[in-house]
Structure formats: structure tokens, C-alpha cells
Structure 1
Amino acid sequence: MKKSLLSLALLVSSLAAAQQAQPLPSFSLTRFGLNDGGKGGLGAATGDTLDQFRFRATLGFHYENNPLVYYRNGSPAGSLVEHRAQLHLGMAFGITSWLQLAGELPMVVLQSGDDLSNVAGTVTPDSFGLGSPRFALRMGILSQGSGGLAKNTGLDLALQLGVALPFGVGNALNIENGWNVMPQLSAGRDFGPVRFGGEFSALIRQGVALTPSTTKDTVGHQLGLRALVSSTGEYVRFEGSFHTLIPLDGGVPAGFELLGGVRVPIGPLELFALGGPGFGNLPGTPSFRVFAGLGIKPWAEKCDASSSHTPAECPDLDDDQDGLRNRLDKCPLEPEDKDQFEDDDGCIDPDNDRDRVLDGEDKCPIEPGPKSNNGCPIRVRDNDGDGTPDVDDKCPTIPGPKSRQGCPIKDTDGDGLEDELDQCPKEPGPRERNGCPLKDRDGDGVEDTADNCPDEKGPVENQGCPAKEKQLVIITKDKLVITDRVYFATGKATILPVSFPLLNQVASVLRNHPELPMVTVEGHTDDRGSAKVNRKLSLARAKAVQQYLVHQGIDQGRLNAMGFGPDRPSDTNKTEAGRANNRRVEFVIEHPTEP
């Protein structure tokens, strides 16, 4: 993971070491904050506001790892801030159903890093400090529920204006250099049990020149983007979010973070935790961060699941727990019966086909029919149910295809092939063998000629061997194809132990198939090096494999060894992958020639 780094000219300035160590100019290093009201999610705003007169307070512990790293000539030389722990006190209040006021006060309680005064000319920041307070006013424009200026729309949309004041205590990179203004646009929407949303924001602040050497030292205006997906409901909730900050003063690439979180309600309290890695070179983007704490609602919301309310008063709840919020549920107090018939209206459908036969008694619940026929439509009589009406069916009590006027196909051996097309009408066999049986003595569906284990049952995909050992050998007409390579010591004919299981399977196949009279072990190389040396090496390797198989009990008279060096490539020698494919061992089945 690439750690956050102060990739400004401060860190590469040739003047820093020559000057007396100075403290960094005042600016707030931390660029992450919770969604104040926390209604839609914690990691990002999603267009939501608190209900009127509702209040939420949070106390959180926030840890960042390596949010400020000193780089020299592109390489890390130390961490100006390696560990940073803060406490965050936050509050949000719903002034109206569409207007929310929030505030936050951060406090650095622990901060440490490397002493880089002789390297970067910078004094290590203080380990404690009271940060700049932040206030935000959010206005709900659209709302899926009862909030917002426009209610019951298909989207939550909100505008927010935030400010951070240049006040604080200490020099812990916790105080803004001037007034900060933070406009924000956020939006979100629920899709059943999942909510999607995000925010787009800007940070307008006085630029901070960290060193006088270049304009790239300025930490100033930024654009921010967050995207969030979270679960909904009144119980344990999960969320994941993506965060990016894009500096507008140039010189430093954007920073990215991926955070996951969980929220656990306990009465009026909520325990929460978020955390995840960071990527990029932007000051304030840590290698990872963890934010955990406690949320407090001192009185029950009107629309808490446990409070007394009507569905109309709380359109965002799902009172009957059928997966549809009250505002979308035509029967908000009766759960949908989930029978794949009009399941999106939230109502029970006791008679799907409306034939006055209840579904529990209806043998055709989605086809209307009279009660006398068990709710099924009256159709043309077809006693054997073969689709041929009895009036046209020459075999009305025995099902058969229409092409045979309702009479069954004559298939004495029951192999699915009509007797008149079956070359073995009294012995079942597959169609591709014209109805004649396979020679398969273990009865596992793999012909003996292709079965690595002809006396043990096994699946077709494992070449007829038991699934406990994956087969690496495939029997074809001309070769024993191996699905792995035979590995040798570099430049030698010594077989590496990793290939023993593969060669043991080759030996097993040869033992189980004595009908294979002769197999030639071929050695091949790529075209690198001397062709003469490669031919000699490939022959030595082929003979090593031959001897290994002999030691496994294979008659040497059934084995031959040949080395072709680079003369018979199976792939290109212009790429590393192609050359690797050319360095191979093959097992060629030698068929006796016709006299």
C-alpha cells in the first residue's frame, strides 16, 4: 500500500537542511469527517436530513496511520506524523423537516512521528491540540419520504454549506490558517434493503505555503467526491464507501480511500465503526484509518420501529417487514405473501388468478378455472397427458409424441433410440454409438479406453477416477496429454519432486492400459542457447522420465526416449510464455503399423 506523503516541494527543498528547523505553517491535516446526521450513512452524506426537532450527538475516536510522510527524491525518508489519534465531538439538529444544523469539534490527543529537523528542516508537530470547530447548514431539496422541500420524490437531494473557523489550541496540524468554506451537494436513494448515494464537495480555503521554494508547496483548494452503499433498516447496518480528494493547486496527486463500516443500535444509543486503507500522495490521506464511537439520540424518534405511529406518519419505515417501505406499500400493515405474483405491491394475494378458488385449494393458482375442476381451466380431454387429444390419439392411455399419433416410441432397451434406428436394440447404449453399449467395466460412464481408473468409479471430469485425486493425465488417440509440466533442475536432467505426483499418474495410466504397446517420451526445449546442447539435454531429460516410469513398475520395453531440443516448438520462441510452453515433455502413443 502506498502511504500518504507530503509530496510538496517542502519535502524536496534543498534549503530545508541548511535552515534552522521551523514548525510547519498552521493547517488542518485531517480531511475526513462523519455524515453529521448519520441518517443514510456515516461515511458520506446521501441527501438526508434529520426530522424536525430531532437531535443526534456522536463521540468518536479517530486513528490515522502515516497521514504525513516526508519524501526525498521520490523515496520515503521518515514520517512527520506516523500516529495520530483524535477525539471528535459532533452534534446535529433538525430545525425543520428540511433544514439541519450540525457542528463538530476535533481534538488531537496523541500524535507522534520521526524527528526530521536535520533532514526536512521541520519541527515535529505537537502531540496535543484542540482543532478548528466546524459548522454546517444542510437544506433538503428533494426527499423520498416526508422530509425535504419537495416530498415523496424518487430521490433524496440536499445542499450544504459548511465553515471551519481558524481557532484552536496547540500546533498539532489541527487549526485552519483562515476561514474555510465547504459547499456540498449530496444525493441518495433506497432500493429495497440497500441505499446508494454520495456527495460532491469543495474546500475553499486560504492557501498555505509550506516552503518558499516553489508554488507546489501550497496546500489549498480541493474538490471532494464520496460514494456510499449501505444497508437500510432499524437494526444492524453495514456500509462501504469510496473517498477521493483532488487538489486544485497542482503538484500533488489525488488521494483515495476505501472504508467499510458497521452500525449497531442499542436503544437510544448506536455503536459504530469505520475503517479502511488509503492510497495516494495527498497530505491527510493515511495508509489506513479507523473511526469508532458512540451515537446518541436522547429521545426516541417518532419513526423508530418501536415507537407508536401510523404508516402515513413514517413513510420511510417498513412496518410489516416485507421489504417495501410504507410509502411504496399498498398494504403497509400486512406483509406481502411472496408468491411471485404481484409481489411489488406489498399486499397479500390470496387468489392470484381471481377465479374465486383460494390459492391454497387451487391446483392452477395462476390460471383461472372453475371450482369443479379444482381451479384449473377446462381443456380438451387428454387422458395420458401427452398433448394429443384423445379423439386423435391412437394410444389414449399411453403417452406418445404427436408425430406417432400419441403412441409411444418403441425402444426395447430404453436407451432413447428407436428400435428401427438402434443397432443394438436389446442393449442400451448412447446415441453417438448408434445405441450400442459402452465398454465400461466400472460403470462410471467413462469408456475403458479413456478411463484412467477403469476399475474404480469416478466422475467424467476427473477422467473416470475418484474425485479425491485430481487427474493430470488425459488419454487421447495419439498422446497421453498432461495438464501440468514436468519440472527439472535448471540446466540438468534431474526431475524435481514437485513433478513426482504427475509422473506417478502417468505410470498408473500405463499400468491400467496394457493395450498401449509403446509410448515414446519426448523431450523438447526452447531456442535459447546451443541447439546441440539443447538436443543432448532434452534427450537426457526424456531418459530420466523413462527411468522414473521403469522404477514405478512399467516394462522398459513399452517405453522409448527421444530428445528433439528446439527442433519441434509448440509455440513461438519470441515471448517468455511461448518459450515456457516449448520447454516440455510429451508422451506419444506409438500405434503399430499395418503390415
Structure 2
Amino acid sequence: MSLPSSTRGAIVAVSLGCSLASAQSNDQLPGFELERLETNTGRGTVLVGNGELMVPSGLSVSLLGHYQSQPLVLNNGEKNLDIVQHRATAMLSASYGVLSWLELGAQLPFVLWQQGKSPTDVGLAELRAQGLGTPVLQARLGVLSRRRRQPLDLAADLGIGLPIGTGSALAGDDGPRFHARMVAGTEMGWLHPSLEVGVLFRPNILLPSSPQTPVREGASSEIRLAAALATTGQGLRGELGMRATFAQQPSLELLGGARFPLISGLDAFLLGGPGIGAAPGTPRFRVVAGISFRNEPPPKIAFLDERSDQELQLVLANPERPTQEKPVRPVPTWDIALGRGEEQGPLAAAAEPLPTAKPHQPGEREKVVLRGEIHFSQGSADLPGVVPLLDQAVLRLSDQARAGVILVEGHSDKDRADSFTAVRRAQAIRRYLIDQGVPATRVRIQGFGADWPVSAQPATEQERQLNRRAEVLVITDAAAEPLTTQQTPP
């Protein structure tokens, strides 16, 4: 049967129109955020936080760049196509401590350059080489803190990704994305482990594998787990992090590297590692490098155990007096930051240098409102993290108006290399107290070396650490006569 020429022309036109409509509907690049790497803002490693918040008015800023190999590979039914074979991106992050329990952060990513095979074989348009990524705004809420003498640091992170990224560069979702996660961390000697558990809600677009496969849209959720292990210290530090995603297509990335200081507050870092999984955005390997700057004031008073403080006051109110006075062997002393003519009355005597270098023993006309010890590592004068004792000392001294001083006595063990750090330990505590607002004229320090040990014959490292200490006393109503002692060295 033959059709009229006009009918055959109509059929051809309709078929061509349908083909063009189909090509137009498929020949586009679905807009979604390809990047899966979530970097950390604030305290912690590059990959994972440690649950610790920035102190109020503390600021952290980082700039990193990373290279990815084959983060997007599709199959057209015959072979794999490296739609994105090479990709270089950058990210600017910042975090600011607002309150002791609240920290705000932001991330702004950019696609600097990307290259791959033509995606037209799977019905997609060519992607752009550069573009703006998905900006993220984040709030971190403190739940537990070791600053309050709790066993670990625990924080909740809530964030939103704004849908203003460049979709044609695979750098922006069609709608907003949300994440919620819990981050925990603690210190175990010279190691700092951390763990993160969270969920991500995002608009998801499944890419086609051929021109005949339609692009399906829908919302999805992903469960994300991450863990990190970092070394502590002032110099070169190691970092190892893992981040896994559980969804329709699971993926995992492992990054390891080092962080090293450049100048005060400024660090550089370099990490790299493989990716495992077929989920879009999972590279074969990734290299991350960048710098980070952090500036924080000394932490303010965060915790005061009233019950323990009352027990301490009961002990200090009834000190045990020695039965008889024994001679004291003089030892070298260093005394700095003593007031000259600024204090009158009872503090005038406390502002004069000690006539002899002897650990202080309260006299009858003196009142000790706080007394405690701080222990140090061998050869180190660095404060061991958060020191609630010093925060309590600041609080006690502020209650005394002008009628009080803080006396810091530095000690060391019998290691010759460590004996020179006694005064440095006292100086480190003095700097901390001054940063907290204590006037320099109300802080006195002395160094005693190894002449006044707690354990005269230490047999273990724990006993030697007891000797590497600094004793802190808050004294009020100081007597007019010079400070004396009734204590004899072991």
C-alpha cells in the first residue's frame, strides 16, 4: 500500500521533531555537586574535626587545593568513559568562635580546571572547565568539653549547602543540601583520635549510561562516617583520615600526610590517598595541599568544681605544722616581674624579692586560698593543654581585689637536661596568667631546679613526672616579714 506524498512528509516531520526533542531533552548536563570531599573548619585534622570548639573570638582560616584523578567515569554500553578525568579545585574555609558552646563556619569552593572525554556518547553536553562550587554555612554546637573536665570533646554540626554553584561544571546542586553530624575526640598520650557520624540530604540526579536511558531526579540521603588519627606536639605532626559514604553506591577515601608549622599560628599541610567505589565524585586518588591560620585568645574560666574547691579550703584552713624547725639549704633562685612601689600595705612585703630560695610555707599571718600543682613532660616547659587550676587561680585572685598575689614555684627532676627548665615552667605559667588579665606585679615566680623533689628516689617515669612540676599558690593577707619556710628538702 502506498501513502500519499503529503502523508509521508507529515510522518517524516513528526519523526524528525521527536528525534530533535529527544536529543534536546537528553543533550544536557544534569546539575549536581560532584565533589564528595568534606574538609574540616576549626580545630582538628584537615579531613575530620575533633569535637573541640574554637574559644570565643578565636579565628581559623584555611586555603587548600586538591587534585583528583577520574572522579566521574560512565559506561556507554561498550566502554568506560572518563567524563571527568582530571580535576583541580580550591576551597577557602573559615571558622569563628562566637560563644563557649557555639562556633560558626563557612566554606567556599571553586573548580579551577577539569578535563575529560566528551560526554555526548551518553547524551550529555560538554561540561565547563571552571565554576563556583556549592558554598556551605555551618554551625558547630558544643555538647561535651574536656575544658570542663569531661572525658571527651563532643560537638554537633549542622550545615546547609546553598544551590548557587555552577551546575554545568558539576559544581552545584539543583536545590539546597543539608547535613547533620556528631563529632567526638579526645587525647590518648601523644595521639589525638576523632570520630564523626552524620547524614547528608541532597537533591540527587542519576546520570544515564546511554542516550536512551532517561535522567531520573529525586531526593536522596547518604550516611557518612569518618575517623582520623593525629599526633600532637609543636613541630611536625602526622594525620591519617578516612571518610566513607553509604548510599546506593558506597564509596571510601583514605588520606594521610603531615602538618608542619611555618610561623606562629600558620601551618602547612600535605595529604594524599586513594578512593574506592563507583559513586560519582570518588576519585582514583586525591592529593590535598594548603595552609591554615589559627588565632585564639587564652581560654577563659570554663569550669569550677565547687565541691572539690570546698574540700581544698578545708584542708588549707587546717594545715599541718611541723613539730620542729629544721635548717634549710639555700638553692639558686630566679625572681622576675616583682612590683616596685605600686603596692602598699600588706602587698608591699609580697612585692619584694625573697631573701632566700625556699619553697613557700604559709605563715600565721598569711592565708592561702588556692594551692595546686601542674606537671610537665621531660625537658618541656609547655603547658599540658587546658589547665583548670590556673583558671581557678585567676578567679580566686579576682575575688581578692588588690590584696593578693600568685606565687609560682618551678621544679624539675634530677635529669641534668631537665634541670634548666624549672624557671621556664614558671615563666610559661606567668605568661598564661598575664594573658588572662592578671597584673604582672601580682605574679611571682621562682625556679628551684631538682632540689625539692616530691619523690627523692624516683624509680619509674610516673614518679619522675611528679618532680617535673610547678606549684601555684594564691596568697592573701601577706605578712610584713619576708616569706619563710619550715620545710626541709628530702
Q: TM-score, normalised by structure 1?
A: 0.48
Deviations 1:229-269 (A, max 9, x none): 1101232211101111111xx3x2x1111110211122231
The aligned residue for residue 112 of structure 1 is 115
1:23 aligns with 2:28: yes
Show the counterpart of 1:582. none
Which of 438, 455, 467 aligns to 1:348? It is: 467
2:197 to 192, 197, 200: 200
8 Å Cα contact 1:54/1:94 also seen in 2:
yes
Deviation for aligned residue 1:332: 11
Shift of 1:59: 1.1
TM-aligned CA deviation for residue 19 of structure 1: 3.9
Q: Which secondary structure does the structure 1 equivalent of 2:91 belong to?
A: strand
Q: Is 1:155 equivalent to 2:152 in the alignment? A: yes
Counterpart position of 1:136: 138
Looking at structure 2, the residues matched to 79 and 323 of structure 1 have their Cα atoms a distance apart, in angstroms, of 51
Change (3 A) 1:49 1:67: same
Confirm whether residue 257 of structure 1 aligns to residue 262 of structure 2: no
**Which sections of structure 1, spanning at least 5 residues, go unmatched?**
1-14, 351-374, 376-595
Are the equivalent residues in 2 in contact too, given 1:128–1:170 (CA < 8 A)? no
Over the matched positions of the two proteins, sequence identity in percent amounts to: 29
C-alpha distance in 2, partners of 1:111/1:33? 19
Give the residue type in structure 2 aligned to 1:22. D
CA distance in 2, matches of 1:22, 1:180: 26
Work out the CA distance in 2 between the residues paired with 1:332 and 1:188.
33
Where do residues 227-242 of structure 1 align in structure 2 (5 Å cutoff)?
A: 227-242=227-242
Amino acid in the other structure paired with 1:71: N
Of 292, 298, 301, the match for 1:302: 298
Distance 1:334 1:293 in 2: 40
CA deviation profile, 1:531-581 (whole Å, cap 9, x unmatched): xxxxxxxxxxxxxxxxxxxxxxxxxxxxxxxxxxxxxxxxxxxxxxxxxxx
Shift of 1:124: 2.9
Higher strand share: 2
- Structure 1 residue 217: deviation in Å? 7.5
Change (3 A) 1:24 1:349: closer
Q: Indicate the residue corresponding to 1:325 in structure 2.
A: 384
**2:55–2:296: 8 Å Cα contact kept in structure 1?**
no
1:341–1:210: structure 2 CA closer, same or farther, 3 Å change rule? same
In 2, the alpha carbon distance for the partners of 1:179 and 1:161 equals: 13
Cross-structure match for 1:11: none
The Cα offsets for residues 7-56 of structure 1, whole Å up to 9 and x where unpaired, read as: xxxxxxxx9xx84562221111101122100x222221221211110001
**1:354-365 counterparts in 2 under 5 A?**
none
**Equivalences for residues 468-487 of structure 1 within 5 A:** none
Asked whether the 8 Å contact 2:205–2:216 carries over to 1, the reply is no
1:76 Cα deviation (Å)?
4.8
- Compared with structure 1, are the counterparts of its residues 199 and 49 closer, same or farther at alpha carbon in structure 2 (3 Å cutoff)? same
- Whether the aligned pair in 1 keeps the contact of 2:377 and 2:465 (CA below 8 Å) is no
Matched, 1:44 2:58: no
Q: Residues 77 and 349 of structure 1: is their aligned pair in 2 closer, same or farther, counting only changes over 3 Å?
A: closer
Supply the distance in 1 between the matched residues of 2:175 and 2:238 (Cα, whole angstroms). 37
Contact 1:229 1:240 in 2 (8 A): yes
Distance of 1:294 and 1:96 partners within structure 2: 26
**Separation (CA, whole Å) in 2 of partners of 1:206 and 1:180:** 7
- Encode CA deviations 1:158-204: one digit per residue, 9 max, x unaligned: 11101101013461111121111100101011011101111011101
Aligned CA RMSD, in angstroms, stands at 3.6
User: Would the aligned equivalents of 1:68 and 1:82 in 2 still touch at CA under 8 Å?
Assistant: yes
**Alpha-carbon spacing, 1:138–1:349, altered in 2? closer, same or farther (3 Å):** closer
Cα shift readout 1:448-499 (whole Å, capped 9, x = no counterpart): xxxxxxxxxxxxxxxxxxxxxxxxxxxxxxxxxxxxxxxxxxxxxxxxxxxx
C-alpha deviation, 1:342, in angstroms = 6.0
Instruction: Kindly provide the CA deviation profile for residues 502-538 of structure 1, in whole angstroms up to 9, marking residues without a partner as x.
Output: xxxxxxxxxxxxxxxxxxxxxxxxxxxxxxxxxxxxx
- Structure 2: unaligned runs, 5 residues or longer: 1-18, 300-336, 338-370, 390-407, 416-457, 470-489
Report the Cα distance in structure 1 between the residues aligned to 2:253 and 2:56, rounded to whole angstroms. 33
Structure 1 residues 196 and 347 mapped into 2: Cα distance closer, same or farther (>3 Å)?
same
In structure 2, the CA distance between the partners of 1:202 and 1:157, relative to structure 1 (3 Å rule), is same
SS of equivalent residue, structure 2 residue 65: strand
Correspondence for 1:68: 72
**1:34 corresponds to:** 39
Give the Cα–Cα distance (whole angstroms) in 2 for the partners of residues 34 and 80 of structure 1: 24
3-state SS, counterpart of residue 346 of structure 1: helix
Question: Deviation at 1:328?
Answer: 8.2
Q: Name the structure 2 match of 1:93.
A: 96
Q: For residues 492-507 of structure 1, what are the structure 2 equivalents within 5 Å? A: none
CA distance in 2, matches of 1:142, 1:336: 35
1:183 aligns with 2:180: yes
Q: Verify the 8 A CA contact 1:103 1:136 in the aligned structure 2.
A: yes
Residue equivalent to 1:474: none
With 40-49 and 195-204 compared, the bigger mean Cα shift is at: 40-49
Report Cα offsets for 1:110-151 as digits up to 9, x if no partner.
01110131x21122321010112101100111112x2xxxx1
1:165 is matched with which residue?
162
Tell me which residue corresponds to 1:56: 60
Contact 2:62 2:291 in 1 (8 A): yes
1:399-457 CA-partner distances (Å, limit 9, x unpaired):
xxxxxxxxxxxxxxxxxxxxxxxxxxxxxxxxxxxxxxxxxxxxxxxxxxxxxxxxxxx
Contact kept, 8 Å, 2:59 with 2:296, in 1: the verdict is no
Distance 1:270 1:157, change over 3 A: same
SS of corresponding position for 1:207: strand
Larger radius of gyration: 1
Equivalent pair of 1:210/1:217 in contact (CA under 8 Å) = no
5 Å matches for 1:389-468?
none
Give the count of matched residue pairs: 314
Q: Is the 8 A contact 2:412 2:468 kept in 1?
A: no
SS at 1:221's partner residue? strand
**Residue in 2 that maps onto 1:10:** none
Counterparts of 1:329 and 1:86, CA distance in 2: 42
Q: Is 1:220 aligned with 2:220?
A: yes
> CA 1:182 to 1:316, structure 2 compared with 1: closer, same or farther past 3 Å?
farther
Q: Distance in 1 between matches of 2:296 and 2:383?
A: 23
The residue type paired with residue 98 of structure 1 is W
- Alignment match of 2:271 (pick from 260, 271, 274): 274
